[in-house]
A = this chain, B = another copy of it.
Amino acid sequence: MPRSGAEARRRLQQAALELYRERGFDQTTTAEIAARAGVNERTFFRHFPDKREVLFSGEAELRAALEQAVAEAPDGLPVLDLLLHAFREVKHLPESNRPFAEPRLEVIAATPALRERELAKAAAITEAVAQALRKRGVAERQAMLAAQAGWAAFHEAIAAWIADSSQSLDDHLLQAFDDLRALTGHSGR
């Protein structure tokens, strides 16, 4: 195996995040990112298919972890409980990424083009989760609805946890799922 490559990739991610924060996504050129990372502009596009994707590399990991967690969750649970169990299994991923994730979320929130990409990633994950649910016998439509509702709760929990760290992500997760269950008239756990 020749030149490491992975290092250049990390430098590109770092440089991109810095520049997007300093002068904004639209005011940053891929040539500038490459320059700060010490590589050619062409190299940027060898590591990332486009200017947005450079901020979305951890999503594949989360998706894989979630697929596995759903597949390995205990039997006999109602769908939402199964999902909650799976989300609790993977909550260490956002937890360990937090120092990098916080500025990243800030940039994404400020940039419509990046929010679009974030939604696409979320859709890919929920589709994967739905598929994993179907493999466990959950009906077609139920699987999709559960995956989307569950992801919405997970997402809300992370947002709340970022805004209020006095409680653990786990606590926020439990509360978000309580809120989700309450939608249909139930009161709580």
Contact = CB atoms under 8 A, between A and B. Distances in A.
Contacts of A78: 183-185
A182 interface: yes
A122 B184 CA distance: 22
B141 A156 contact: yes
- Chain A contact residues: over half helix, strand or loop, or mixed? helix
A109 interface: no
Given A117-B116, A184-B181, A185-B78, A176 B123 contact: no
Interface residues of A, number: 32
A144 interface: yes
A3 interface: no
Contacts of A115: 120, 123
